[in-house]
Structure 1
Amino acid sequence: MTTTSPIPAATRAPATDAHALTGKRRIAFASYVDENYLPGFLVLLKSLALSNPGVCEDFVVLYDDLRPGSIAKIRDLHPRIVLKRVDADHYDAYKKGDQDNYLVRKAYFILDVFRIREYDTIITLDTDMVVLGDLGELLRLREGLAAVPQFFYGRHKLNSGLLVIQREYLTDEFCAKLDRCGRSGDYELDKHDQGILNAVLDGDFLRLDARYNFVKRRLSGDLPVPDDTAILHFTGRHKPWQGGESGYSQAEERWRSYDLDDADFHAAYLACSGGLHHDLLVHYGTPHVARTGDVEAARKVAAAHIASGDYQDAVDILSGVHIPLDEAWPHEVLGHALMSVSRYEEARTQLLLAAAAPNRAATAYARLAQMAWVHGDNTEALKYATAGMSVDPTHRPSRLWAQRAAAVPSQELGAAEDQLAHVAFYMDRQGNAGDKLLPESVRSAFGPDTGSRRWYPVHAHRLFDEAALQRVNRRRGLVIGGGGLFIPDTMPNGNSAWQWNVPDELLKRIDVPVAVFAVGFNAFDGQSYRAGRFRESLRLLVEQSSFFGLRNHGSIEKVRAMLPDHLHGKIRFQPCPTTVTRQLVPDWQDPAERDDTILINAAYDRAGLRFGHDYGYFLAQMAQAVRDLGELAEVRCVAHSLDDEKIAFDLRREHGISLPVIPMYDFENKEILDLYARTKLVIGMRGHAGMIPFGAGTPIISLISHPKMAYFLRDIERPEWGVSVHDRHLAARLVERSKDLLADHAKTVADVHGRQRELWRATEANAADLRVILGG
């Protein structure tokens, strides 16, 4: 089969890294490190982790003479070290106060940081610093070049020990300015790199509070370090690791408190309060558990592995320690991990042990109910879910599994041989509105009859066993599509490592035509399918399929990269059917009039991957946007899921803005379409908060926090209809683009219809092939 595409290949943007599509800021720390200052740098790394346990960004190490053993020590202390050798010879042309002093020569090497192009924000730290407090404010900075003014020279000059550098300074042009100044010698020669920066900037820098670069000299006379000090800087010749200096014992004691051996450092990190960063927790916790057999530490590390989708790693670390029978929480986490790799019987044993403890019983019972439901045993699932609610009547997961187990299965009204089996994620009541609509939308692409006469449902999350195989093989074909199926973590399993819980041996025995229809590659920026299991299952699925259609070209690029070359030609473009709703719904009528409203949707699942350090900024920008958009139309929040209401709560609490909330998670499918068809504009962060209104003929602007949003806009050749949640001018861009789309609304709607017709042509071409494949 040939790949059908409404957009000529020459006009489509090339494959792009996820962070470039989402606009998510890439942040790094950086230091120049040599052998003399290595002891200080190792303590700096420890202090950064212990003072900011939830922060783990790349740490760029600029170096010229580090030994392999020294590099190994550095890597032991940080999981995201990026080594960059400096161009030492480049600085030989600079005029210096003392050309023969090797330390003077090295003082310029930190300027190589301005030659780095991979990051949006770089925070430089001198190796004679120790981090004592929260650096969140620095991570949230987005403009200019920020530093603390010098202690002795007033506010016109900066101290270069700490710099927060934004992308506009990480350019060839700025590097050329530094070079001209250095080669001319027109700067304070005895201030080295700092002298050059001050000469070039001439006071044009963002001034930070002194607590972010609190120089030792402020404490002369053995004064105590102020409680609010975030970074203490041991300026001068005498460094703490070299014996220190008289008159600064209290300051040096703070430095020595972080000069820990590996065992004490790992234990100290694991004892930190607050959220521990996954990468650091795994990096420090793994050797700690291997050394001590600490069960509680193993539980924490396993939970971190689960949160990032590394389920087998979670099983391995907890299986490697002895868990006492009465330690319920580790049993529960191990049960969760075993369940996620489809070792169900072992998981059941662990969860029953956990259920014996009152404080873990509700969660353990909910997982037992989930496993029973996955195996098709509704009676057992309801029993466990009820037990969970008896322990904790407010336990939401237990209530969810009780509802699923008690649901009345649809009646098989049609003859099996006339039906198509349909693998999808069938959303629960009060579930995500987009996923609720999607299975019906997929079915509508195959004809107007979307009910049980023609369709036999197969829930993707239930184990596809021998009985399920027999039921599918009695149908005339199998359609797979509906819900975020190519994502590793919504309902993990070890059989396929994606959302359909199908073992390879049963997938091979499906003997009816298989059509994968409009599935998307849904991994977030920063999320990946780590297991080879997914690749193998994917390859087998493509081989078994008579039709394999993905909903955007970005997904096609990602999936082809995981397949052998000979299978690339089987992957074709099939738009999500929600984007062509006007063509699929029988007797569709565009609204004669529209409500004078703008609907806003924000998503909060995997918030760390969506927002990074920028949520506060995003919220402030949305507050300004809501105020300004209110002059164009009434602004309302449309919640696809319960969690989507958070934006309304946060806007009210943080910015005093009240936003009416529409609980779309309670809507029936027709109500969802009607609401989106009647509004003037939808500004949405969820994929289907863009695709559903677009399919209903309504203009959209996407709040991009996931690559799939950019993929869709790229396919319809309207990238300007998207704005990154990280955009520096988010509010202004949203308002400007909203005004543009609303200025001539009829013209904008006509443009939506035109874009939709291109997607419909691809769908029609595929439908002709599908009729041959599936019949009917």
Structure 2
Amino acid sequence: MTTTFPAGSASAQHPAAASAHALTGKRRIAFASYVDENYLPGFLVLLRSLALSNPGVCEDFVVLYDDLRPASVARIRALHPRIVLRRVNAGHYDSYVKGDQDNYLVRKAYFILDVFRLREYDTVVTLDTDMVVLGDLGELLKLREGLAAVPQFFYGRHKLNSGLLVIQREYLTDAFCARLDATGRSGDYELDKHDQGILNAVLDGDFVRLDARYNFVKRRLSGDLPVPEDTAILHFTGRHKPWQGGEAGYSQAEERWRAYEMSDADFHAAYLALGGTLHHDLLVHYGTPHVKRTGDVESARKVAAAHIAAGEYQQAVDLLSAVRIPLDEAWPHEVLGHALMSVSRYEEARAQLLLATAAPNRAATAYARLAQISWVHGDNTEALRYATAGLSVDPTHRASRLWAQRAAAVPAQEQGSPDDQLAHVAFYMDRQGNAGDKLLPETVRLGFGADTTSRRWHSVHAHRLFDRAALERVNARRGLVIGGGGLFIPDTMPNGNSAWQWNVPDEHLRAVDVPIMVYAVGFNAFDGQSYRAERFNSSLRLLVEKSAFFGLRNHGSIEKVRALLPPRLRDKVRFQPCPTTVTRQLLPGWSDPAYREDTVLLNAAYDRAGLRFGHDYGHFLAEIAKAVRAIGAHTEVRCAAHSLDDERLAFDLRREHGVSLPVIPMYDFDNDAIRETYAKTRLVIGMRGHAGMIPFGVGTPIVSLISHPKMAYFLNDIERPEWGVSVHDRNLGAVLTEKAVAMLDRHAETVADVHDRQRLLWKVTETNAAELRALLGG
């Protein structure tokens, strides 16, 4: 039986899940250049200089072209992992009035205008191929408004130099292209300035002024002057280009250009030698051939670590296994051990990690990983021994302390008979762990009845290896419930057995002979995050085949999972809301609060911050500061920290904007205190999924700060997408304030609406509960 929403509701006709970008509003940024065979040497230098001057930046690079040869394209692709080729419509510009119709260079000067025909990006930065990047371009990537360029003084007026443009989405439109075409065909512009002349005629001075250091023209260095130290982009304007021999009087400038005229081998080595944050895509793209060519162990370690950070564990194993690691090189052994344990090659991982313990600077981390392997295998004694060894090396080592606490914890004594129990696979959070994950297992159990204790339930930690003994314990119970978190995520506790959070080998999953019920699990991949497709897909298919009930917590997850399944299995996947969203209905003896504190709770999440914020964290923080001040004029705003890392919001607001917030350490609360805190406030503004679902479930209005698709999935399911705002929204502060103040002003009405939306989810939950009772025999 497939659960459906009432006819006529939004979810009754639920569309396929939208793209992650469309849901989160995360800005898509690209660089762009027009490149031909004559200017190819300049473009290759431009690409090298961009990578070496901005090693942590890797966005799409759109190459507009009309005559590039395959060999040239191959050279370009070798220098950048995210090249997007786009052939220009050269004939389109033949109708433009030009100063010299027969000069092929003049004709090609207009082709960069094709950049305004791009529609898949929110921000595009154009760079002429006679430029070299010498400094940080981070400020350009943070720009959110207008069309920005460096002004230059022409004929008594400031006009833009089109060598560098930062173009926002409002200019990437058919309407703006029509204005460019009309001006080009009329000839009503400075013909000798080509594309630049058209842009200046159309904009008429209406552009955002950038500092000259972002387009520092060569002519300012006449007389062989040195390049100013703060120059970010040096532009070799004029007829004489460095790759054509250059021009007398500019030797110091041309030396800066020639510093990036190097072989691929030298370029790869130069990038690998950089300090600071190196972008994963660049590090892998340059580091892989460098390691293959040189066998350099330190480079292999860096590239393997980048693979691990991106969840590419097998690639890390393959890379480090292909080089000879000296016995006394501890760090590469530790990274290889980390990669091996992440693909469940545990014995090999132990050997590598034990070698890493010989070096004091890597020993604590290596001991913590050894403790983790022992804990995964159920050996608490050995896990505690390793964790204690890690703390003896570094008493402040957080991971060693965590594993020591887990290993030393006294397991709860089960009181019930196996015949009366359900086994429950979940992520059982530590005492000071994420508040939402802490609450989830108990709430999942409430979906099956009021008794959530060990009399009725046998706990199976998802992250521990599901071995033969665990299988026998599960098969002795009435059934197996899997639920309590976004278990379909690849990197929280990686393993090679399933490639999702339950560490279950296929052979043991096949051998489960009691009913399997997947209950309100989420598909929690971030925008930009992926799974190891083959292993995950195989494990997922087997799980769906084996399940008597397979319920996911939102329709976005349903669409994602169905897309990975063969047609015969897709109808088994149905909707089961997260039980936290119907807490008022599930919790025995629940009563709505008689009063609410005059507060608004604000939550922000910092796990995987790069995936959440991209280049927009500074913008987010500034806009949140505006909102806190504005909302604070109505009621007190407090920071609700689900985890220790969430307190960063309060620290950053105070340091950067002078805004102070009291912090509520919800990671320290028990489940009743978490629910009570959310029930007694007037509004919750949350970025974590359960900073929305938990307050909603206890009847409190919410506004979601969307940095992950699951936030939008939930709001779509309750037919209230207007209760969310993207963290990337250009006017985030004003939009958030407007939504929050409206909810506070109409509080009783909004609470009633929350209750009404909850009834939709409760109806589905009740229907599913009846089916589950029948499955379990009452």
Alignment TM class, shorter chain as reference: over 0.9
Instruction: State how 1:177-196 maps to structure 2 within 5 Å.
Output: 177-196=179-198
Kindly provide the CA deviation profile for residues 637-664 of structure 1, in whole angstroms up to 9, marking residues without a partner as x. Answer: 0000000000000011111111000000
Kindly provide the CA deviation profile for residues 395-424 of structure 1, in whole angstroms up to 9, marking residues without a partner as x. Answer: 000000000001111111000011000000
Residue 653 (structure 1) aligned with residue 619 (structure 2)? no
* SS of match in other structure, 1:5: coil
* SS of match in other structure, 2:158: coil
Kindly provide the CA deviation profile for residues 39-65 of structure 1, in whole angstroms up to 9, marking residues without a partner as x. Answer: 000000000000000000000000011
Residue 700 (structure 1) aligned with residue 702 (structure 2)? yes
Q: What is the letter of the counterpart of residue 277 of structure 1? A: H
TM-score (norm 1): 0.99
Instruction: State how 1:297-308 maps to structure 2 within 5 Å.
Output: 297-308=299-310
* SS of match in other structure, 1:150: strand
Task: Using the TM superposition, give the Cα deviation of residue 4 of structure 1 relative to its aligned residue in structure 2, in angstroms.
Answer: 2.9
- The gaps in structure 1 that reach 5 residues or longer are none
- Rounded to whole Å, the distance in 1 between the matches of 2:413 and 2:425 is 17
Q: What is the letter of the counterpart of residue 429 of structure 2? A: M
- Rounded to whole Å, the distance in 1 between the matches of 2:338 and 2:387 is 16
Kindly provide the CA deviation profile for residues 181-212 of structure 1, in whole angstroms up to 9, marking residues without a partner as x. Answer: 00000001111000000000000000000000
Aligned to 2:149: 147
- C-alpha contact 1:421 1:477 (8 A) present in aligned 2: yes
Q: What is the letter of the counterpart of residue 736 of structure 1? A: E
Instruction: State how 1:304-703 maps to structure 2 within 5 Å.
Output: 304-703=306-705
Task: Using the TM superposition, give the Cα deviation of residue 10 of structure 1 relative to its aligned residue in structure 2, in angstroms.
Answer: 5.6
Kindly report structure 1 stretches of 4+ aligned residues shifted beyond 6 Å.
Answer: none
Q: What is the letter of the counterpart of residue 33 of structure 1? A: V
Relative distance call for 1:126 and 1:233 in structure 2 (3 A) is same
* SS of match in other structure, 2:571: helix
* SS of match in other structure, 2:64: strand
Q: Identity over the aligned pairs, expressed in percent?
A: 82
Aligned to 1:77: 79
Q: What is the letter of the counterpart of residue 187 of structure 2? A: G
- Rounded to whole Å, the distance in 1 between the matches of 2:392 and 2:312 is 32
* SS of match in other structure, 1:156: strand
Q: What is the letter of the counterpart of residue 252 of structure 1? A: E
- C-alpha contact 1:548 1:572 (8 A) present in aligned 2: yes
Question: Structure 2 residue aligned with 1:233, among 235, 258, 269?
Answer: 235
Kindly provide the CA deviation profile for residues 312-359 of structure 1, in whole angstroms up to 9, marking residues without a partner as x. Answer: 000000000000000000000000000000000000000000001111
Question: Structure 2 residue aligned with 1:716, among 715, 718, 721?
Answer: 718
Q: What is the letter of the counterpart of residue 471 of structure 1? A: R
* SS of match in other structure, 1:306: helix
Q: Aligned Cα RMSD in Å? A: 0.8
Task: Using the TM superposition, give the Cα deviation of residue 101 of structure 1 relative to its aligned residue in structure 2, in angstroms.
Answer: 0.7
- C-alpha contact 1:4 1:766 (8 A) present in aligned 2: no
Residue 4 (structure 1) aligned with residue 12 (structure 2)? no
Q: What is the letter of the counterpart of residue 86 of structure 1? A: V
Question: Structure 2 residue aligned with 1:169, among 167, 171, 190?
Answer: 171
Task: Using the TM superposition, give the Cα deviation of residue 5 of structure 1 relative to its aligned residue in structure 2, in angstroms.
Answer: 3.1
Relative distance call for 1:232 and 1:600 in structure 2 (3 A) is same
Q: What is the letter of the counterpart of residue 4 of structure 2? A: T
Kindly provide the CA deviation profile for residues 205-234 of structure 1, in whole angstroms up to 9, marking residues without a partner as x. Answer: 000000000000000000000000000000
Task: Using the TM superposition, give the Cα deviation of residue 484 of structure 1 relative to its aligned residue in structure 2, in angstroms.
Answer: 2.2
- Rounded to whole Å, the distance in 1 between the matches of 2:5 and 2:329 is 56
Residue 16 (structure 1) aligned with residue 18 (structure 2)? yes
Kindly provide the CA deviation profile for residues 591-632 of structure 1, in whole angstroms up to 9, marking residues without a partner as x. Answer: 111000000000000000000000011000111111001011
- C-alpha contact 2:5 2:12 (8 A) present in aligned 1: no
- C-alpha contact 2:499 2:532 (8 A) present in aligned 1: no
Aligned to 2:104: 102
* SS of match in other structure, 2:459: strand
Task: Using the TM superposition, give the Cα deviation of residue 479 of structure 1 relative to its aligned residue in structure 2, in angstroms.
Answer: 0.1
Task: Using the TM superposition, give the Cα deviation of residue 8 of structure 1 relative to its aligned residue in structure 2, in angstroms.
Answer: 4.7
- C-alpha contact 1:315 1:337 (8 A) present in aligned 2: yes
TM-score (norm 2): 0.99
Relative distance call for 1:113 and 1:10 in structure 2 (3 A) is farther
* SS of match in other structure, 2:167: strand
- Rounded to whole Å, the distance in 2 between the matches of 1:58 and 1:573 is 36
- The gaps in structure 2 that reach 5 residues or longer are none
Deviates more, 1:740-749 or 1:382-391: 740-749
Aligned to 2:27: 25
Residue 56 (structure 1) aligned with residue 50 (structure 2)? no
- Rounded to whole Å, the distance in 2 between the matches of 1:391 and 1:8 is 57
Aligned to 1:127: 129
Instruction: State how 1:239-258 maps to structure 2 within 5 Å.
Output: 239-258=241-260
Q: What is the letter of the counterpart of residue 509 of structure 1? A: A
Task: Using the TM superposition, give the Cα deviation of residue 739 of structure 1 relative to its aligned residue in structure 2, in angstroms.
Answer: 1.3
- Rounded to whole Å, the distance in 2 between the matches of 1:528 and 1:275 is 21
- Rounded to whole Å, the distance in 2 between the matches of 1:725 and 1:767 is 36
- Rounded to whole Å, the distance in 1 between the matches of 2:73 and 2:18 is 32
* SS of match in other structure, 1:589: coil
Aligned pair count reads 776
Q: What is the letter of the counterpart of residue 447 of structure 1? A: G
Kindly provide the CA deviation profile for residues 650-699 of structure 1, in whole angstroms up to 9, marking residues without a partner as x. Answer: 01111111100000000000000000000000000000000000000000
Q: What is the letter of the counterpart of residue 630 of structure 1? A: G
- Rounded to whole Å, the distance in 1 between the matches of 2:30 and 2:118 is 10
Relative distance call for 1:166 and 1:427 in structure 2 (3 A) is same
Q: What is the letter of the counterpart of residue 80 of structure 2? A: H
Task: Using the TM superposition, give the Cα deviation of residue 152 of structure 1 relative to its aligned residue in structure 2, in angstroms.
Answer: 4.5
- C-alpha contact 1:5 1:573 (8 A) present in aligned 2: no
- Rounded to whole Å, the distance in 2 between the matches of 1:478 and 1:569 is 21
Q: What is the letter of the counterpart of residue 21 of structure 1? A: L
- Rounded to whole Å, the distance in 1 between the matches of 2:587 and 2:11 is 30
Kindly provide the CA deviation profile for residues 548-578 of structure 1, in whole angstroms up to 9, marking residues without a partner as x. Answer: 0000000000000111111110000000000
Relative distance call for 1:153 and 1:406 in structure 2 (3 A) is farther
- C-alpha contact 1:156 1:202 (8 A) present in aligned 2: no
- Rounded to whole Å, the distance in 2 between the matches of 1:35 and 1:642 is 54
